[in-house]
């Protein structure tokens, strides 16, 4: 710490204790050493008085100790032999792409130089970043992504267009076609985040998935019944039948209004249910055949397989009126009609139509009706009498009789159309002479519906119909004649399969998004698997890549929106090979998604393409070993982006080697270094003139990395460089040590005295060479997308960018910071015992640390353990980028363990960020002038943002939150041009149990909490 400048006043306290601290310590020690004291400051005995006098004298010494002149303080700290800590380089995650899409990829070697622009105008210029490791920049892209839940059986799409399994193929309207084309167009073009799937909550299955679990039952006619029973029988599956009645499954049918639920479900026996619907089925075409469709859909995804031995359906059609009655010329009234008109005539026809009921092959159909007879007397008309003498007559000769004749419909035929012509209908009972006697009766026509009954055109209808033809009616042409005319009333048609169950014509199961053909199981000894648990037996995130990753290492950046004190999850990674999913070995720098960072792996050579959810990709999955993270009340990490080809770059620049010459060898030689913010100094000393051949050969053999050799044209060693080591001071050196020291503040390289330590001695040639590594300190903390290109214009790499702000860059330690660090060393004697020792050591570890708090016996998850010590650390840039905390976390823990005198196991030390509580204020105000709204709003928000900012001088400390009264005082003290009517203050925070929003006064504050500004709203109303 040489050549520090002096100041008259010292602001750094070596001992920060006050009188109260000393009195508390005396009180504690007195209980062990002088228990006879009745230590009481308010009513002191003689022992208490002695202690109070000692505390006062001690404070005088401490004040003098702390108020020593700065130069004395500096000299005192210099006795420790410490030097200023070097600057810390900023670090950034950088993404890059392959320049040519036709290329598989390109290697980006370690140390690749990248260019960045500074954020500040006063420091315009280019910054240099260097990559910390090499990666393979692949042309493979993440194109598809979805999540699966083992517990819930869900499939949740994230990236890409995934299709659900449709129950029925639906025609696409012109409007839908136009919308689909527009979606494809926008997907083809790149409009930034227009189609972005980010951010998303990992393993959050509260959203709807694309999975379905259903059974599709197809039949050409069995379901075409309204307001009558349809029967479903699941052989030997009593439990499923009960679940169907209890509503654990939905029963839907396809109509013009899409799929609608049935009206009712009731049990018939242990494996049969009766259902009713009120709307006609809409036909769906499958493989060229039309079907009516019923769907049994699981309300919740099944947890186990559901099977039945077989599946049957039946139906019953209640009595219904015919759809139409037609006599060949006109439609007749359905309620009452004369089948053969007002007079009988041979070959008169009657059509009774019901397209739905007559399309029930194998069903028992009944046509019930009542018949009464009306009499109609028919005589010759005047015109007929005049035509009687004509030779040519159109009708048979009418024989007159003194008494009128009678005619009856003596014989009829009943037929149906089979597609080629009309065919006689076979009925259970004889129907030819049902009208022959002319008596009133009630008749039931009963028959089995033929399989070949087809539709035909009857008048204006296209339907299935019975054709009744009058074949015999004696005397029907005699005049006069009494015609006994049948009149049919109450005609009803019904059908029943009740005694005969049929199998569906087609059965399809849907599990997830896949359809399973089950029709063949109906006609075999195999059971019918109605429902399955699902094809995915794990909870995982599936990531699909469009191209195979051929080389490595591959680096994927996982960006988290906010860590929210998430303590990580042990994910297992797999890749798909020809033998299925195999374990993928990778390095997880995210620490189980605790922080944004990279996944690095060498792609296996046997990666294979497979189609999952309709996407042919190369798949990698991140599997969750247990289902705890699936629970609703557990916090889930929010992923804001997953990017390919990520590499870490630090704001360092390795300068070219510089040669140094000396004229005379002298002790304590010093040499200027021509760079600022020096990080590392590599010094190679030429020892060719000081070492024998055997010594040089030994060094080459034992330490080849520490030696560089230059030879002449004859192959003889001309220069023999040995790498020397940097140390803080020369107090503990030995004569044979090859060491040097660096004064970074004054940029000076210092060698020892040549007696207690070695020094360079070559004067005829290059004495030593120096290579410096420097950084830009705070300037390296650049905004997103400020790193923009490769410094040496690397071929085949483009689109270099940093998606997140770079972090962790600090300037070289200031004198005040060094004095504080030295004071801490003196105070703690370089040993960490008390909480104060730890907190001081943490604060002096890095200038990026703003606050530090030690908490005994409690973890941030709420776990209590007396052996546990938690350190809460607030960094300057934590709210902008959490990378810096996780970069510092492990190094700081190692640093504390090296100086810890207590026996604390490494697992019992936790270093965590604060648990931020966003405090939001909502205010209702009344103003006189609406023009003041913007001014009031800005002043209101700015004052609250400043008040809640944990980084301001005198800001809120970890473990302390403002109260309602304090916040209201701040609001009212701003003298807003408004009358405040109402104030609501809420606190929002996340923990392992999820997200919480409570009123601030009801918040239970824990020692890890720290406030930050939330979302503030102000509502205006005018006085008028």
DSSP of 856-874, one letter per residue? EEE-TTS-EEEEEEEEEEE
Which residue did the predictor score with more confidence, 953 or 569?
569
Please tell me the predicted confidence (pLDDT) of residue 933.
76
Backbone angle region of 953, left / alpha / beta, with phi > 0 → left and psi within -120 to 50 → alpha: beta
Write out the two tokens for 215: 């059974």
**In the predicted structure, residue 508 carries a pLDDT above the cut 90:** yes
Calpha distance 690→673 (Å, rounded): 25
In this predicted model, what pLDDT tens digit does every residue of 899-921 receive, in sequence order?
776 567 778 888 888 988 999 99
Give the helix/strand (H/E) hosting 307: strand 306-308
Which residues sit opposite 26 in a β-bridge?
none
At 3, is the pLDDT very low, low, confident or very high (cuts 50, 70, 90)? Answer: very low
Most confident of 350-354, 842-846, 923-927: 350-354
Please tell me the predicted confidence (pLDDT) of residue 194.
38
Most confident of 59-63, 769-773, 777-781, 1015-1019: 769-773
Mean pLDDT of 880-887: 75
Please tell me the predicted confidence (pLDDT) of residue 137.
93
Which residue did the predictor score with more confidence, 361 or 881?
361
In this predicted model, what pLDDT tens digit does every residue of 979-1008 receive, in sequence order?
788 889 999 888 777 778 899 988 888 899
At 846, is the pLDDT very low, low, confident or very high (cuts 50, 70, 90)? Answer: confident
For the chain, what is the total number of helices (H) and then of strands (E)?
Answer: 13, 62
At 645, is the pLDDT very low, low, confident or very high (cuts 50, 70, 90)? Answer: very high
Q: What percent of the chain has pLDDT over 70?
A: 88
Give the helix/strand (H/E) hosting 308: strand 306-308
Please tell me the predicted confidence (pLDDT) of residue 177.
54
In this predicted model, what pLDDT tens digit does every residue of 101-122 receive, in sequence order?
778 889 888 888 899 988 664 5
**In the predicted structure, residue 6 carries a pLDDT above the cut 50:** no
At 7, is the pLDDT very low, low, confident or very high (cuts 50, 70, 90)? Answer: very low
Please tell me the predicted confidence (pLDDT) of residue 637.
87
**In the predicted structure, residue 282 carries a pLDDT above the cut 80:** yes
Mean pLDDT of 306-322: 89
At 466, is the pLDDT very low, low, confident or very high (cuts 50, 70, 90)? Answer: very high
Which residue did the predictor score with more confidence, 1015 or 192?
1015
**In the predicted structure, residue 809 carries a pLDDT above the cut 90:** no
Mean pLDDT of 149-175: 81
Judge whether 935 and 925 are in contact, CB under 8 Å.
Answer: no
User: Which three-class secondary structure state does DSSP give residue 679?
Assistant: strand
Identify the weakest region by mean pLDDT among 409-423, 612-626, 866-880. 866-880
Which residue did the predictor score with more confidence, 71 or 654?
654
Question: Could you tell me the pTM of the whole model?
Answer: 0.75
Identify the weakest region by mean pLDDT among 79-88, 380-389, 463-472, 490-499. 380-389
Mean pLDDT of 173-187: 50
At 189, is the pLDDT very low, low, confident or very high (cuts 50, 70, 90)? Answer: very low
Calpha distance 59→53 (Å, rounded): 10
Judge whether 312 and 545 are in contact, CB under 8 Å.
Answer: no
Where would I find the H helices in 40-173? 46-66, 70-78
Please tell me the predicted confidence (pLDDT) of residue 82.
67
Mean pLDDT of 281-308: 91
User: Which three-class secondary structure state does DSSP give residue 930?
Assistant: helix
Calpha distance 492→319 (Å, rounded): 5
**In the predicted structure, residue 393 carries a pLDDT above the cut 60:** no
Place of tokens 């962790």: 808
């Amino acid at each position: 710490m040489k050549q520090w400048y002096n100041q008259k006043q010292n602001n750094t306290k070596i001992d920060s204790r006050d009188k109260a601290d000393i009195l508390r310590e005396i009180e504690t020690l007195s209980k062990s050493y002088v228990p006879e004291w009745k230590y009481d400051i308010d009513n002191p005995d003689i022992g208490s008085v002695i202690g109070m006098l000692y505390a006062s004298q001690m404070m005088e010494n401490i004040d003098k100790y702390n108020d020593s002149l700065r130069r004395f303080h500096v000299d005192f700290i210099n006795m420790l032999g410490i030097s200023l800590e070097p600057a810390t380089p900023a670090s950034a995650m950088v993404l890059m792409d392959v320049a040519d899409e036709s290329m598989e990829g390109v290697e980006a070697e370690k140390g690749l130089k990248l260019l960045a622009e500074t954020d500040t105008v006063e420091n315009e210029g280019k910054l240099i970043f260097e990559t910390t490791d090499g990666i393979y920049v692949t042309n493979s892209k993440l194109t598809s992504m979805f999540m699966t839940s083992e517990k819930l059986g869900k499939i949740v799409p994230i990236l890409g267009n995934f299709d659900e399994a449709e129950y029925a193929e639906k025609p696409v309207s012109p409007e839908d076609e136009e919308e689909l084309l527009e979606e494809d167009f926008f997907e083809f073009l790149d409009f930034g985040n227009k189609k972005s799937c980010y951010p998303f909550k990992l393993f959050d299955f509260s959203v709807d998935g694309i999975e379905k679990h259903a059974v599709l039952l197809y039949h050409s006619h069995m379901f075409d019944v309204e307001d009558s029973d349809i029967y479903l029988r699941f052989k030997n599956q009593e439990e499923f039948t009960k679940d169907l009645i209890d509503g654990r499954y939905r029963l839907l049918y396809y109509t013009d209004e899409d799929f609608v639920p049935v009206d009712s479900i009731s049990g018939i026996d242990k494996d049969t249910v009766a259902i009713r619907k009120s709307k006609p089925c809409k036909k769906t075409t499958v493989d060229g055949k039309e079907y009516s469709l019923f769907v049994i859909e699981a309300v919740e995804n099944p947890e186990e397989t559901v099977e039945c031995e077989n599946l049957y359906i039946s139906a019953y059609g209640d009595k219904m009126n015919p759809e139409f009655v037609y006599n060949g010329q006109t439609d007749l009234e359905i309620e009452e009609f004369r089948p053969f008109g007002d007079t009988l005539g041979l070959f008169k026809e009657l059509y009774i139509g019901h397209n739905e009921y007559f399309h029930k092959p194998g069903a028992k159909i009944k046509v019930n009706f009542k018949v009464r007879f009306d009499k109609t007397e028919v005589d010759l008309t005047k015109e007929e009498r005049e035509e009687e003498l004509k030779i040519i007559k159109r009708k048979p000769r009418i024989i007159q009789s003194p008494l009128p004749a009678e005619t009856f419909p003596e014989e009829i035929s009943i037929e149906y159309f089979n597609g080629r012509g009309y065919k006689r209908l076979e009925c259970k009972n004889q129907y030819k002479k049902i009208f022959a006697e002319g008596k009133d009766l009630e008749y039931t026509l009963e028959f089995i519906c033929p399989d070949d009954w087809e539709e035909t055109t009857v008048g204006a209808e296209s339907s299935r119909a019975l054709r009744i033809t009058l074949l015999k009616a004696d005397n029907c042409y005699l005049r006069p004649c009494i015609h006994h005319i049948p009149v049919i009333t109450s005609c009803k048609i019904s059908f029943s399969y009740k005694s005969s169950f049929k199998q569906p014509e087609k059965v399809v199961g849907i599990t997830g998004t896949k359809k399973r053909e089950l029709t063949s199981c109906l006609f075999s000894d195999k059971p019918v698997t109605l429902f399955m648990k699902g094809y995915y037996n794990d909870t995982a995130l599936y990531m699909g890549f469009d191209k195979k990753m051929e080389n490595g290492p591959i680096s994927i950046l996982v960006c988290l929106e906010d860590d929210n004190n998430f303590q990580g999850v042990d994910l297992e990674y797999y890749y798909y090979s020809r033998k299925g999913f195999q374990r993928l070995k990778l390095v997880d720098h995210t620490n189980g998604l605790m922080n944004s960072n990279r996944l690095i792996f060498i792609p296996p050579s046997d990666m294979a393409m497979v189609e999952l959810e309709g996407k042919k990709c190369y798949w990698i999955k991140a599997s969750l070993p247990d289902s705890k993270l699936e629970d609703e009340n557990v916090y889930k990490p929010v992923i804001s982006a997953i990017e390919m080809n990520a590499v870490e770059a630090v704001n360092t620049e390795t300068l070219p080697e510089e040669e140094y010459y000396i004229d005379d060898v002298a002790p304590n030689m010093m040499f200027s270094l021509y760079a600022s913010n020096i990080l590392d100094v590599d010094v190679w000393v030429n020892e060719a003139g000081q070492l024998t051949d055997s010594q040089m050969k030994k060094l080459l053999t034992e330490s080849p990395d520490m030696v560089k050799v230059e030879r002449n044209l004859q192959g003889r060693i001309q220069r023999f460089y040995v790498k020397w080591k940097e140390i803080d001071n020369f107090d503990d050196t030995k004569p044979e040590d090859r060491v040097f020291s660096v004064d970074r503040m004054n940029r000076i390289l210092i060698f020892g005295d040549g007696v207690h330590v070695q020094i360079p001695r070559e004067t005829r040639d290059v004495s030593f060479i120096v290579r410096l590594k420097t950084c830009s300190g705070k300037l390296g903390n650049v905004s997103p997308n400020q790193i923009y290109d490769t410094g040496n214009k690397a071929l085949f790499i483009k689109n270099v960018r940093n998606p997140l702000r770079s972090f962790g860059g600090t300037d070289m330690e200031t004198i005040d910071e060094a004095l504080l660090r030295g004071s801490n060393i003196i105070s703690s004697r370089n040993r960490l015992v008390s909480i104060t020792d730890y907190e001081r050591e943490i604060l002096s570890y890095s200038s990026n640390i703003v606050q530090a708090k030690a908490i005994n016996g409690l973890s941030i998850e709420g776990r209590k353990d007396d052996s546990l010590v938690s350190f809460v650390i607030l960094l300057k840039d934590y709210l902008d980028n959490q990378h810096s905390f996780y970069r510092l976390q492990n190094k700081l823990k190692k640093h504390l363990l090296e100086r810890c005198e207590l026996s604390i196991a490494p697992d019992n030390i936790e270093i965590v960020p604060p648990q931020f509580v966003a405090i939001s204020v909502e205010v209702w105000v009344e103003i006189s002038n609406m023009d003041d709204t913007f001014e009031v709003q800005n002043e209101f928000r700015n004052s609250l943002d400043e008040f809640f900012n944990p980084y301001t001088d005198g800001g809120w400390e970890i473990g302390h939150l403002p109260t309602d009264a304090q916040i209201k005082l701040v609001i009212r003290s701003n003298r807003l041009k408004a009358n405040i009517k109402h104030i609501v203050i809420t606190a929002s925070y996340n923990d392992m149990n999820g997200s919480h929003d409570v009123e601030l006064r009801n918040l239970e504050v824990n020692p890890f909490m720290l406030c930050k500004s939330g979302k503030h709203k102000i509502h205006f109303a005018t006085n008028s």
